[in-house]
Amino acid sequence: MKIAILGDIHANAEALYVVLADAKREQVDQYLCVGDIVGYGSDPKECIQIIRDGLKCPCVLGNHDLLASADLSTWSFNPKSAEMIHWTREQLDTDDKNYLSSLPLVLRMHDFTVVHATLDVPRSWGYVFDRLAAASSMSYQETQVCFFGHTHVPLAFIKDGPVRTEHGWTSLDIKEGCRYFINVGSVGQPRDGNPKTGYVIYDTDAQQVRIKRLDYNAGPPPKCRV
Ligand code: ZN
């Protein structure tokens, strides 16, 4: 089975369409999303419709999804990001907000786990950029593989002894005796210095995870980040 795993779409329908066209060419069997369907971008409703109705794609809750769907304070966001959350709230109807707020924090699918930020305290929205933070999350990981998002940087952490970091990977073989905590990058707002949109394909038969990066009309780089 080939599973396309989409991260941090952030209401960027243009990038999402490019990813979905590629996934179709790859003949994937299933789609999954690691959260943050909305926030930052200008197409929140369209992206929700694609994920929820079009693909019927299982998805976990991201911090932007939570803030856009509930009347919570945006104090932790910079002014521009907070402004986009308030604007997003105005674009969404009750069904959209109910859908977002009902997303689970952690999802167990087949033989792997999906979370937006970390498994140790999923609702704290911690950022995993190093081995220490990865090890902390991986100590709560019950499956061999866990996919996550939130940082928009496609790092992979591998545990076969001490946790090590895999930078700039394009493909990973899932080997027996190892554990994997894999960031799938961001469809809508990559932050690894490469403006190409991206997603991951997990081939469960070949036990291989591949990252795909694709050109699209990205426009100027975003000025806000949280
Ligand atoms: Zn995000």
pLDDT in tens, 47-101: 999 999 999 999 999 999 999 999 888 888 888 889 999 999 999 999 999 999 9
In a domain, 225, yes or no: no
In a domain, 201, yes or no: yes
Residue 177 CA, ligand 1 centroid: distance in Å: 31
pLDDT per residue as tens, the chain (226 positions):
999 999 999 999 999 999 999 999 999 999 999 999 999 999 999 999 999 999 999 999 999 999 999 988 888 888 888 999 999 999 999 999 999 999 999 999 989 999 999 999 999 999 999 999 999 999 999 999 999 999 999 999 999 999 999 988 999 999 999 999 999 999 999 999 999 999 999 999 999 999 999 998 876 555 544 4
Phi-psi region of 169 (alpha: psi -120 to 50; beta: other; left: phi over 0): beta
The alpha carbons of the chain give a radius of gyration, in whole angstroms, of 16
In a domain, 219, yes or no: no
CATH number at residue 60: 3.60.21.10
In a domain, 218, yes or no: no
Residue 152 CA, ligand 1 centroid: distance in Å: 6
Alpha-carbon distance of 11 to 102, in angstroms, equals 18
Distances (CA, A) of 224 to 4, 191, 217: 27, 11, 19
User: Is there a contact between 185 and 155 (Cβ–Cβ < 8 Å)?
Assistant: no
User: Is there a contact between 50 and 26 (Cβ–Cβ < 8 Å)?
Assistant: no
Residue 151 CA, ligand 1 centroid: distance in Å: 7
Find residue 201's DSSP bridge partners. Answer: 4, 210
Supply the range of the domain harboring residue 187: 2-212
Residue 164 CA, ligand 1 centroid: distance in Å: 24
Q: What is the DSSP string of 11-59?
A: T-HHHHHHHHHHHHHTT-SEEEE-S--SSSSS-HHHHHIIIIIIS---B
Domains of the chain: total: 1
